[in-house]
Chain A
Amino acid sequence: MPPPTKSDLPQGTLDLLILKVIALGPIHGYAIAQRIQQISREVLQVQQGSLYPALHRLENKGFLAADWKETETGREAKYYRLTAKGRAHLNSETANWKRLATAIRLIVNFAD
């Protein structure tokens, strides 16, 4: 199977994606990467090297909280969940992104 073409994330959108995925329910880092890849139909791939620093930064800012819980396989993993502050941030960032995306679409499609 040929690997599908992968795209780099636009700057500053990783935080939004992470918050959005975590908003679906408590989840550990590995599953966050998987989920982003699945939902984007393999277009977006998040490297560990950017995922974990982002998670720790968001936790440090108080947008995320974390607990150690057992996974289905019986191992302990660090599960992240959204705090109230994180949910508010996600909402404003989502609105922001939608406005931006609409504006860009308007410009890109202008001649058509």
Chain B
Amino acid sequence: MNERELDRELRFHFDQLVADYVRQGMTEAQARRKARQEFGGMDQVKEDCRDARRTLWLDSTLQDIRFSLRSMRKNAALTLTVIATLALLGTFAGIALLLASVGIYGVISYSVSQRTREIGIRMALGARPGDILKSVVGQGAVLSMAGIAVGIIASFFLTRFMSSLLFGVGRTDPLTFCAVAISLSFVALAASFLPALRGAKADPLSALRCE
């Protein structure tokens, strides 16, 4: 809802009240004082009006955003620190994710090149490309699952050192843990899928001859 509109509406009421008292024979100052008394806390009335509308999800979200922007403006130094910290953490996290996916890609590529002969024999014995794909991606999946399990256990202990950087979310927030685990497994699967595809497309004859 429009904040200025609410302001204008209440201001109109207030002025009408003052005009009324003046008409009843009060001086302007007296009338203002009486009206202010009767109105009670203008801010309280406004807050109640906002509350009355807060049932609308979108409105309440906008309200929250506006509120956080307002408090950010009040605390510029803190805001800058928070933004810088978040940017730094985000960059580190991004680099870590990139390194992890490159690492998985490298390991699986290496394993595929090591297994070229084995893959050739399997295909010569009747394995279809899908089977090869399954085997290689499966290997990547097992590795990344093990990594995620270790990571989750480690982060349970390590997050306590960065709990001062968390706002409005628990140190061991289940949703965050799930989201990170799921996105990491997707990245791991994608990273092992490329070399797996290469292995599956290999020509059995040349694969057998290699070495």
Who on chain B is nearest to A52 by CB? B49
- Please indicate the chain A residues that have their CB under 8 angstroms from the CB of B211 in the complex: none
* Total B residues in contact with A, Cβ cutoff 8 Å: 24
Give the docked Cα–Cα distance between A56 and B49 (Å): 6
CB distance A49 to B44 under 8 Å?
yes
Q: Are A60 and B52 in contact (CB under 8 A)?
A: yes
B16: chain A residues at CB < 8 Å are: 30
A35 within 8 Å of B (CB atoms): no
Interface 1/0 per residue, A29-58 and B, CB below 8 Å: 110010000000000000111001111110
Nearest-Cβ distance from residue B159 to partner chain A, whole angstroms: 40
Chain B residues closer than 8 Å to A89, beta-carbon distance: none
Residue B45 lies at the interface, judged by CB distance under 8 Å to chain A = yes
Docked CA distance A59–B5 (Å): 14
> How far does the alpha carbon of A63 sit from the alpha carbon of B128 in the complex, in Å?
66
Query: For A54, what are the chain B residues with a Cβ–Cβ distance below 8 Å?
Result: 52
Q: B52 touching A76 by the CB < 8 A rule?
A: no
Contacts of A76 in B (CB 8 A): 8, 12
Contacts of A47 in B (CB 8 A): 38, 40
Question: In terms of DSSP, what is the predominant structure of the interface of chain B?
Answer: helix
Residue of A nearest to B9 (CB): A78
* Chain B minimum-CB-distance residue to A58: B52
Q: Which chain B residue lies CB-closest to A61?
A: B55
Which of A53, A54, A76, A77 lies at the interface centre, i.e. has the most chain B CB atoms within 10 A of its CB?
Answer: A53
Closest residue of A by beta carbon distance from B48: A53
Q: List 28 A-B contacts (CB under 8 A).
A: A29-B9, A29-B13, A47-B40, A48-B13, A48-B39, A49-B39, A49-B40, A49-B45, A49-B48, A52-B10, A52-B45, A53-B45, A53-B48, A53-B51, A54-B52, A55-B49, A56-B6, A56-B49, A56-B52, A57-B52, A60-B52, A60-B53, A60-B56, A75-B12, A77-B9, A77-B12, A78-B9, A78-B12
Residues of B within 8 A of A (CB): 1, 5-6, 8-10, 12-13, 15-17, 38-40, 44-45, 48-53, 55-56
